[in-house]
Chains A and B, each alone.
Chain A
Amino acid sequence: MKYTKDHEWIKVEGDTATIGITNHAQEQLGDVVFVELPAIGKKVVKGGEAAVVESVKAASEVYAPVTGEVTAVNKELEGDPALVNRGAEGDGWFMKVRLKDKSELADLMDKAAYDKFVAA
């Protein structure tokens, strides 16, 4: 698992990446009440807006950690957005993306670096 400074996580298997928001992010957001997911087939760009997560308090953008094409979204979040709070880095995943360029993963943080980033 790798992490971004915008508090997304990404897990790569083969040429497909699963993307979500970190546990730290869900703690900061509080109760999630709505998630707007991209359409399947949408091209996302590294650092570009890929989804929106709304808590009781506010809306926040979720940025794509990598460039690629959306191949799946987590339909469970439509009926149960609080899944993001219960399992941010597991069952509360947002989307799967077919990677265009694996070298984009190089500048993402590993767990130790992300934990240090959050603590600072």
Chain B
Amino acid sequence: MSEAPLLRTPLYDLHVSLDARVVPFAGYEMPVQYPTGILTEHNWTRGSAGLFDVSHMGQAFLVGPDRATTAAAIEKLVPGDVAGLAHARIRYTQLLNPQGGIIDDLMIGRSASAADDGALGLVVNASRKEEDFAWIAEHLPANVKLVRADDRALVALQGPKAAEVMARHAPNAIDLGFMMAASAEFDGFDCHIARSGYTGEDGFEISIKADKVRALAGALLAEPEVKPIGLGARDSLRLEAGLCLYGHDIDETTSPVEADLVWSIGKRRRMEGGFIGSARVLRELAEGPARKRVGIRPEGRAPARDGTIVTDMAGRRIGLITSGGFGPTANGPIAMGYVEAAFAAPGTAVQLIVRDKPMPAKVAAMPFVPHHYKR
């Protein structure tokens, strides 16, 4: 990855013109923050509306002859219930390897229109898209194709004022509930709009042709409620919301059961199994996982970062922090990580080894900040 030249999203010039600090991320030159800084951007998103460029993420369509064939093809690779998706619904699930580890987490959506019923939309992580698309293509039957949508950009508008801003540009979008999506027009441009995001707030994710995204971003940034938000605040927002970051909180060694993502595994899928990685998933569902992803709150003010060792009160190692930092809305340090199952109950006292010293902490329920989704 490091030797490959860095890519740019169609909004790169906009980020530079806004004086963003640009850093390498997942093979792209991305804005980590704008001049006002991460705390201000975080708080702006919680209080108003933030615009995120997520065009580096991978978009694709699965195209088959009919709905049942396409759904069955992807259900071989994920534990989520795709066949049961209603029109205009999107679902969070994971691509699993044969050992039940997570290749990536992704969104799968079904069109609002019956005319598109052989197709499903996919959005995957930037850092994993080449692996994901190769893995999916390799496992599809001959009559289902993976069609990459590299000509599309993606932006997210997140926060309590996102809906009133969207109402001015894409009035149909505000009829969508959380985890719904539809084709819509934004100022006359064709796009796909989903009511979803990675902040815990109400908001929208808008997929649009790359050559139109600059105009869309400009229209949103012209609204007084909207400011651009970088990757730094994206990370603190998703951590407060208790959402996993691929490569940190989930990876090819962690299963969806260990990662506390059981809610995303369809009931029918648990009964039937039959997906790649199902042996481990079904065993862990029946017996319980040996370790579990939990929230952790350090008791002092010092943050515990990714890689911090978690011990019991006697000093025995019981786990590892996978994401950690300062939660501006939680107003203190917050973290998530894996601990042995016996220590996973909220309120359990543990220690974090920060700079070689044990620091008191407690296992905590997530999210750290309540979700404000549009139900």
Contact = CB atoms under 8 A, between A and B. Distances in A.
Interface of A: 30-31, 33-34, 36, 52, 54-59, 78, 81
Given A30-B232, A31-B40, A56-B325, 20 more contacts: A30-B37, A31-B38, A31-B39, A34-B301, A34-B326, A34-B333, A36-B302, A36-B355, A52-B355, A54-B302, A54-B326, A55-B38, A56-B232, A56-B326, A57-B32, A57-B325, A59-B303, A59-B305, A78-B301, A81-B301
A105 B118 CA distance: 74
Contacts of B326: 33-34, 54, 56
Interface in B125-147: none
A57 B303 contact: no
A30 B305 CA distance: 17
A81 B32 CA distance: 22
Interface string B308-329: 0000000000000000011010
B33 interface: yes
Interface residues of B, number: 18
A58 B305 contact: yes
Contacts of A36: 302, 355
B236 interface: yes
B345 to A, nearest CB: 28
Nearest to B355: A52
| The 7 nearest A-B residue pairs measured at CB | A33-B326, A31-B39, A56-B38, A34-B301, A31-B37, A30-B37, A34-B302
Contacts of A54: 302-303, 326
Interface string B23-63: 00000000011000111101000000000000000000000
A56 B328 contact: yes
A56 B39 contact: yes
Nearest to A52: B355
A59 B308 CA distance: 12
Nearest to B332: A33
Interface in B67-96: none
Interface in B291-314: 301-303, 305
Contacts of B42: 56
Interface in B257-311: 301-303, 305
A81 B303 CA distance: 13
Contacts of B305: 58-59
A54 B355 CA distance: 12
Contacts of A57: 32, 38, 232, 325
Nearest to A81: B301
A54 B300 CA distance: 13
A30 B38 contact: yes
With most chain A CB atoms within 10 A of its CB, the pick from B32, B37, B40, B305 is: B37
A92 to B, nearest CB: 16
A34 B42 CA distance: 17
Contacts of A78: 301
A56 B234 CA distance: 12
A54 B325 CA distance: 9
B304 to A, nearest CB: 10
Nearest to A82: B39
